[in-house]
A = this chain, B = another copy of it.
Amino acid sequence: MQVITSIRAMQACALRWKRAGVRVGFVPTMGYLHEGHLSLVRLARAEADVVVVSIFVNPTQFLPGEDLEKYPRDLERDRRLCEGARVDVIFAPAADEMYVPGHSVAVEETELSQGLCGASRPGHFRGVTTVVAKLFNIVLPNVAVFGAKDYQQAAVIKRMVRDLNFPLKIVVAPILREADGLAMSSRNKYLVGALRNDALVLRHSLEKARAEVRKSSRPIPAARLKTKLKRFIERTPAARLDYVEFFDPDTLVPVRNVTPGTHLALAVFIGKTRLIDNARL
């Protein structure tokens, strides 16, 4: 396994692969890898000859006051995990390699990125689409794999690939969960002591909504179900709801009435840690 830190070297490697007809699978990450990331690597490998994992904590997708500085980093550990997962190349550029002084170009999605996390974190998806477009141009993958935990992100990236005609396929991998159902996330590291258990409120909220939809023979007004979930979440003292939204899984447009097939996403602060989760109902 090779660790590449320069854009020039990574792109040269990618161009050699292209000429040789080697199919490239790509898993963009912010590092501090967990089993969820490794499941993306396995999917990439199934579709490609070589797998590149990028590890880059992208500053442009963090808002002022968010956890950019304290976001967990451990390249040595990531390296071992990638080695074990038979990754071919880790691309781990420094921030000033990715963003030269005076950089002034961004990629912007203006529809799917407006609600949900986009409403709570204005500018976040502009940072995501910009860095992913850059990574696609550097790694030149045939297929790129994203996790379904970041449901809106995957939708925005798919839209970017369609609308900018990137010559590649996007695969969205199912959410991987801990034994107790907490969605895997690098940010789970922040959940010390009792907070770890409090974080289950996200998963329990999804289950509660699913149960309500199953037991109801009619569509349920989204407003009513939102209020119910809000109250449910507030019963966990360390939890503060950021948003809960019921929406069409393709357009991400909020629905007035919740039925089987409606998608539910929520973001909840557990202490200072913002966690997200989602499910098809």
Contact = CB atoms under 8 A, between A and B. Distances in A.
Interface string A122-165: 00000001100110011010000000000000000001101111
Contacts of A138: 165, 167
Contacts of A7: 165
A11 interface: yes
Interface residues on A, range: 20 to 34
A107 B106 CA distance: 6
A111 interface: yes
A116 B102 CA distance: 19
Interface in A75-127: 100, 102-112
A137 B164 contact: yes
Question: Taking the full assembly, how many copies of this chain does it contain?
Answer: 2
A243 interface: no
A105 B164 CA distance: 7
Interface stretch (A15-23, A234-242, A262-270): A15-23
Nearest to A133: B164
A129 B100 CA distance: 19
B15 A105 contact: no
Contact of A19 (B21, B109, B133): B21
Contact of A108 (B11, B106, B112, B159): B106
B103 A163 contact: yes
Contacts of A56: none
Contacts of A109: 104-105
